[in-house]
Amino acid sequence: MKSPATSPVVIELNAVLVALTANQPLVLTLEDGTVLPSGPFESEHPTLQAGVRAWVERQTQHPLGYVEQLYTFADRNRVGAGARVVSISYLGLTRERLSAGARDPEWRNWYRYFPWEDWRTGAPPVLRQSIVPRLGRWADTRERQERVEANFGDGKERWNEELVLQRYELLHEAGLIAEAGKTAADPMTGMPMRHDHRRILATGIARLRAKIKYRPVVFELMPPQFTLLQLQRAVEALAGQNLHKQNFRRLIDQQGLVEETGAISSETGGRPAKLFRFRQSVLLERAVGGSKLPLSRPT
């Protein structure tokens, strides 16, 4: 048996591919929702990004559009088939979807994996009913108590939407999710994934939630024309938070992110609404500085 120092290393490529449909954030999965698209980096791939694009298209028949490198996972316990596995993950955004009847690959609502992260209708019941009490019993030291407070608060307020990965890892450490190997799958704590793919997905959600505050990446998920309410609902879906309507529209106007198309939508269910499109020049003007689109919660 080889020592860890001489064990071979395998480079794996993973993709967190996100779309928005009916105000719900979706992630593309395989094997009945248990894994993300992935595959090994091969010598025929000219670059890492080319490799992940090739694997996603091969496994899902879904071409990738916007892609950025997300994170490299190289923990010592990531071992498979006698080799240490280094996983390089990517975040991809798309407007396209597979057919509604497709089972594998399949788009799944990411809140199925993280039900405690969706605050759009208030504090998720799972926090009060299950997670916070169980974490309270686990937090038998001051250090643990402080970490629970920083990441989950009291389950009612003081929620930082960007701490998706920290919350998942705390639940894993406390043995409250199936991937920890100490408990069976529990619908209250979300659908598990194989390997550490739910951890990778948590990393992707956290990155996107942070990024929508300073770069106009949300437009990668929008149709060519949209109402301002549709844009607000898209940001809310990604952030898991409701926004103050007037403040949100003021921010959009101040940043000059959109322009009117001159068309009207009659599919709003109420008064006809103006249709807008993303100003392409903004992407060039603010490619470095970002678009400064902060979340604005009701006061």
Q: 160-198 pLDDT, tens per residue?
A: 999 999 999 999 999 999 998 877 667 788 999 998 999
Q: What is the pLDDT of residues 189-233, one digit of tens each?
A: 899 999 899 999 999 999 999 999 888 889 889 999 999 999 999
| Dihedral of the alpha carbons of 260, 261, 267, 271, in degrees to the nearest 10 | 40
Give the model's pLDDT for residue 288: 45
Name the pTM for this structure: 0.88
Q: What is the CATH number of domain 9-111?
A: 3.90.79.10
Query: Are the C-beta atoms of 175 and 182 separated by less than 8 Å?
Result: yes
Give the model's pLDDT for residue 97: 61
Q: Looking at the predicted structure, is the pLDDT value of residue 107 above 80? A: yes
- CATH fold match for the domains 9-111 and 217-285: no
Give the model's pLDDT for residue 105: 81
Q: What is the pLDDT of residues 255-286, one digit of tens each?
A: 888 999 988 887 756 678 899 998 877 666 65
Domain ranges of the chain: 9-111, 114-192, 217-285
- Residues facing residue 161 across a β-bridge: none
Burial class for 168, CB neighbours closer than 10 Å (0-12, 13-18, 19+): buried
Give the list of residues 6+ apart from residue 248 with CB closer than 8 angstroms, or none: 232, 235, 296
Query: Are the C-beta atoms of 190 and 177 separated by less than 8 Å?
Result: yes
Which residue is listed with tokens 């149709």? Answer: 223
β-strands 38-40, 9-21 pairing: antiparallel
Domain 217-285 has CATH 1.10.10.10: yes
Given pLDDT bands bounded at 50, 70 and 90, which one contains residue 296?
Answer: low
Q: How far are the Cα atoms of 36, 143, 264 from residue 197, in angstroms, in the given order?
A: 6, 28, 42
Q: What average pLDDT score do residues 76-91 get?
A: 75
Alpha helices in 64-196 (DSSP H): 125-126, 132-138, 142-152, 164-173
Q: Looking at the predicted structure, is the pLDDT value of residue 119 above 70? A: yes
Q: What is the pLDDT of residues 1-41, one digit of tens each?
A: 445 556 688 888 899 999 999 999 999 999 999 999 988 88
Give the model's pLDDT for residue 58: 83
